[in-house]
Structure 1
């Protein structure tokens, strides 16, 4: 069946870049088609009314004209459904939002629908918009991003011997896909020590909803351990640095230093 020339889609704007003399190349994560790149012709002209609609983190409804095979579709109409204005008014919050967008850009595949990932991004942005516990919200997103992208680390059994993990200290290795008991360490695998408390929190985050995160109470040392473990896992699967994460850490360091 021939696809219609013009179609509509709902999406989150992940990023945009100049294209040609006055156009914009926009990267979006759509509800029905996964990651999508589209062009907006003339968007950077002073008379254009579209450029404000294309800010990163905007949730939009748009009409697109299909290109020829191998080309880039063109956005012809666009409407903002949610701008997350409260989030964008706060530098810390918007930097976290951009971090989520960068992760989705890295893990999302073009033309591969993943409504679970789309819903995760929308719900997490909505939660960040009014959340007082942004760090736990980020950890929730990171773990569930791995889960709905097919890279969820094993947290309940040793990935080598397949035995159920008994209470105690264990090891974690993204190289082999998750948690190891102390007697199973594959040669050459990069491993991290995994405390009982960290494993419990990761399991809680795996099973919890965003709303249930308010029940989570962890100390600063445990929070750092969980953050570092998920950071290693994300970097392993993404195979590159996450630039917005560095900016968030710079902000946190400046705030602690009183800058």
Structure 2
């Protein structure tokens, strides 16, 4: 319950400033550009949303760190983190509350793309079950991006530093399964090492999700990544509090 209270407080603070509105607007615009222009939505001649979903890892790579960078960095810079830590809530509850607030905004941004879904149904007869599964998959992936970004926000007092660190770490998670990286490892590593590196990639696990396949292993991967980085956030915040 206390996590939900913090989540409501954080959620309200995002809409008390232009941050949430700007994020949602940029997400919608870039999603449309990637889908219709870069994804050749009409030229493909298929009634699906694959051109929409396949760009999400790259959109989240920059947009999620941008909205998450203030989560802890701003608290530390303004000194309000000391006040926050004196409240009758645990660090875990606070971390979860902040995460839920941002994750809800990411979900809201996704929800506002449903007119595109309606457009696909107007133009053809898509498999809506696949589209629903892809929406769930992309929201799970956004949670992993968010947990990483908020954890790195707890490392620095500077939002800019937090943003840069988040982009770099998230980029590693995204490209570790790309052909360029895999080919580089194949030149000197055995198959076990190559498969291990690829298994850390968001692209590897999201590819099937974008096509509507919610495999248990892929869902578990994003849940585990999210939980691990949230746990790391708790440790970092507790260490700062001890100092």
Name the structure where strand makes up a greater proportion of residues. Answer: 1
Same fold (TM over 0.5): no
Does 1 or 2 have the higher relative contact order (CA < 8 Å, sep 6+)? 2
* Rg larger for: 1
Q: Which protein has the bigger helix share?
A: 2
TM-score by length of 1: 0.29
